[in-house]
Amino acid sequence: MSFDDQQVETFFRLQSNTRYDEVVNHCKKKQDVWVLQDDQGCLIIELGSEKVLPIWNDSSLAEQWKGKEYEGFSASVIAFADFSSKWLPGMVRDGFKLGIAPNLAGEGIVVATAEFARDIGVDLTTESH
């Protein structure tokens, strides 16, 4: 199911913590997540020394967010099984963080990958030390 324009607009008006909760609930239902990707790989945003992978709970949110700044990117789905078993452990190991459904102004919660995994009920057996 893809959000319509009104749903996208409404979602991006939500407070950051509400958008975070929406993505957590989406993932708890073992539903897929969306990232932006080009032929070089996934969009990673550098915030100071942090490397952040923005994720959304719907393709239309990712597509709307990219705007002109990231027009070479397109929404790409990550199956929840792969996200929880491969992506999350790899991101913890590599020290990446997650940007949870940033809004059109770029505001959103940046969270440690291990913390997000706990929030969605994924047990990461990989030690992050």
Structure tokens at 2: 């893809």
Give the separation between CA 77 and CA 87, rounded to whole angstroms: 12
Q: What is residue 129's predicted lDDT score, i.e. its pLDDT?
A: 42
Q: Are strands 74-78 and 97-100 parallel, antiparallel or unpaired?
A: unpaired
Task: Tell me the mean pLDDT in the region 38-46.
Answer: 95
Instruction: Look at the pTM and tell me if it is higher than 0.85.
Output: yes
Give the separation between CA 3 and CA 35, rounded to whole angstroms: 15
Q: Would you say residue 126 has pLDDT above 70?
A: no
Q: Which fold has domain 5-119?
A: Trna Endonuclease; Chain: A, domain 1 (3.40.1350)
Q: What is residue 125's predicted lDDT score, i.e. its pLDDT?
A: 73
Give the separation between CA 51 and CA 53, rounded to whole angstroms: 7
Each residue of 44-79: pLDDT tens digit? Answer: 999 999 999 999 999 999 999 998 899 999 999 999
**Residue given tokens 């705007």 in the structure block:** 67
Q: Would you say residue 127 has pLDDT above 90?
A: no
Q: How do the domains of the chain map onto residue ranges?
A: 5-119
Give the separation between CA 75 and CA 104, rounded to whole angstroms: 15
Mean pLDDT of the chain: 92
Q: What is residue 86's predicted lDDT score, i.e. its pLDDT?
A: 95
Q: What is residue 1's predicted lDDT score, i.e. its pLDDT?
A: 57
Q: Would you say residue 112 has pLDDT above 80?
A: yes
Each residue of 96-111: pLDDT tens digit? Answer: 999 999 999 989 999 9
CA neighbor of 38 nearest in space, from 82, 83, 73, 80: 73
Q: Compute φ and ψ for 50, nearest 5 degrees.
A: -90, 145
Q: Would you say residue 128 has pLDDT above 50?
A: no
